[in-house]
Amino acid sequence: MVGSSNLSAGTTLSKRNIAGGSVAATIGNSTLVRNATSVYVQGAGAAAVARLTNNLIAGNGVGIQSGANGSILTSQSNTIEGNGTDGAAGGNYAPK
């Protein structure tokens, strides 16, 4: 995936107005550049989780960001640098 030159988020994972359980996604082998916010994750009542692996996230206003009930996990194989604010993952995971 290439997310580039978006005025808002390059990738948004959001659980809104959906009854029931949580939502999760894995973003891998992607280049996310020149976005206002590259990856934004939030949940509404239930958890939303994004797992990042082997991505280049650079040159954005905000690299990664989580909101209410949202979390970002990384396999530590991502390059997240050179953004206005790089952001930080909430934890690590081991890809299977």
pLDDT digits (tens, 9 = 90+) for 38-56: 898 888 777 889 999 999 9
Residue 47 domain-assigned (yes or no): yes
- Tell me, what's the pLDDT at 24? 87
Q: Is residue 76 part of a domain?
A: yes
Question: Domain for residue 95, yes or no?
Answer: no
Instruction: Provide the pLDDT confidence category of residue 17 given band limits of 50, 70 and 90.
Output: very low
Residue 14 within any structural domain of the chain: yes
Predicted local confidence at residue 43, as pLDDT: 81
Report the side by side order of strands in the sheet with 56-58.
Answer: 2-4, 31-33, 56-58, 79-80
Residue 96 falls within a domain, yes or no? Answer: no
Structural domain includes residue 61: yes
Q: How many whole angstroms separate alpha carbon 31 and alpha carbon 21?
A: 29
Quick count: other Cβ atoms within 10 Å of Cβ 81? 11
Rounded percentage of the chain residues whose pLDDT exceeds 70: 78
Q: How many helices (H) and strands (E) does the chain have?
A: 0, 11
Does residue 51 sit within a domain?
yes
Are 29 and 4 contacting, i.e. CB atoms less than 8 angstroms apart? Answer: no
pLDDT the model gives residue 3? 52
For residue 75, pLDDT over 50 is answered with: yes
Predicted confidence (pLDDT) at residue 89 exceeds the cutoff of 50? yes
Residue 94 domain-assigned (yes or no)? no
How many folded domains does the chain comprise?
A: 1
pLDDT value, residue 57: 94
Domain range for 18 is: 2-88
- Which pLDDT score, from 0 to 100, does residue 20 have? 57
